[in-house]
Each structure stands twice: as structure tokens, then as C-alpha cells.
Amino acid sequence: MLWDGVEPVSPEIASLRPQVNTVAADMCEPPTWEQRTSPLRSFRIFCVGTGLPINSDATPMFLEPRELKYSTRLQHGTTLKALLTKDILTVDAYLAGCRKRAARDDIRQAEGIRAEDLKTVIATATTTQDATMMKMAWMTASRWAEVKGLQTGNPIPQTDGGVVITFAAVPKTAKMHPF
């Protein structure tokens, strides 16, 4: 248990203790933990062999003679520092668990623009061409600049207020009527 609840708290906060501990326990999930034990095991063997104390002060002496890339040294040093530090705060464990859960989350995208918001954006366009390109970008789920770059000579405004688009220049993903 990462949050042992020794200090007195209100019942509402105490009811959150199991949830907090569940998220914080992800900090030490088996795959990551197994990967981290290898540097720790090597570090302990090194410290016992050289007579150095097994603490974070001996970490540079352990990492420097090894022929490792600096990024690997940084990774091993950070891992050893985390494993050798005895006073992990509850918030640190909870945040580490949150990071792992966020990394596993399938959805990492911003929410798409809604039709009502699109109308507001189009109303701020300075030209008909820009407004049309914004709408086409929304229909094709492309970025505005990329769609506009494909549209040489498009759109062609008509006297009745409509526009004509040369379909040879329109991306294949464009739909005739997205609504």
C-alpha cells in the first residue's frame, strides 16, 4: 500500500484511498519492474565488489567506466536514483502511475471540430476562397494549408453565389456531401 493512511483524514478522502493506491501501483507493474532490476542487480554487485555503499552517491562510479551511450547512462542513472530513494512521496507514485496509464491510453487526439464551430470559423474567413478551403479541409479531415496547396485555381466563384471546384484538384478523400 503506497498511501497507508496513518494520518487522520475525513471519510470522503479515506474512501479515495483504494483508487489512489490502484493507480500508484501501476508505477511498479511487472514488465517495467523486471527491466529495472537488471541495472540495480549490477549496481549492487559493483558496490559489494568495490566496497562502496549502496546508495545514489555511488551511481556515477558505477556508470562512468561502462561503455554506454549517454542516453543509456541517463536512463540507468534515473532508474537507480528512483530505486535507491527510500522516501517516495504518495503524489510521486500516483503521478508515475498516471503517466503509465496515459501512455497506454488509445485515444491521444484532440476532439474534432463540430459543424457549429466550423460555421463560426468560416464566418471569420476574409475571402470566399479561404472559407471554401476551410470547409473542404474539414470535409476531408486534412489540414487547411495542404488542401489549399492542392487547389490551384480553385474554387471558381459563380454569380449566383455558388462555387465550382475542379475535381481533378480535389483530394480523393473528399466527399460530395459530408452531412
Q: Residue 16's pLDDT is what?
A: 80
Rg of the chain (C-alpha set): 29
Q: Which pLDDT value is given to residue 172?
A: 57
Of 154, 121, 146, 150, nearest to 135 by C-alpha is 121
What size, in residues, is the chain?
179
CB-based contact 100:26 (threshold 8 Å): yes
The answer to whether the beta carbons of residues 2 and 93 sit under 8 Å apart is: yes
pLDDT at 179: 42
- Helix, strand, coil shares of the chain as percentages rounded to 5? 60, 0, 40
Q: What is the pLDDT of residue 141?
A: 57
Domain edges within the chain: 11-104, 115-164
The reply to whether omega before 171 is within 30° of 0 (cis) is no
Per-residue pLDDT of the chain (179 residues; tens, 9 = 90+): 455 556 677 777 778 877 877 777 766 665 555 555 578 888 888 899 999 988 888 888 888 888 878 888 888 888 888 888 776 666 777 777 777 777 777 665 556 677 787 788 888 888 887 887 777 777 765 455 555 555 566 666 678 767 666 555 555 555 555 44
Distance CA 42, CA 62 (A): 9
| DSSP E strand stretches across 31-168 | 156-157, 163-164
Distance of CA 133 to the CA centre of its chain: 30
Cα 102 from Cα 46, distance rounded (Å): 35
Residue 115: all three cell numbers together: 459543424
Helices 70-84, 30-50: inter-axial angle, 10-degree rounding: 90
- Cβ(96)–Cβ(78) under 8 Å? no
- Report the 10 Å Cβ neighbour count for 58: 18
What is the C-alpha to C-alpha distance for residues 97 and 89, in angstroms, rounded to an integer? 13
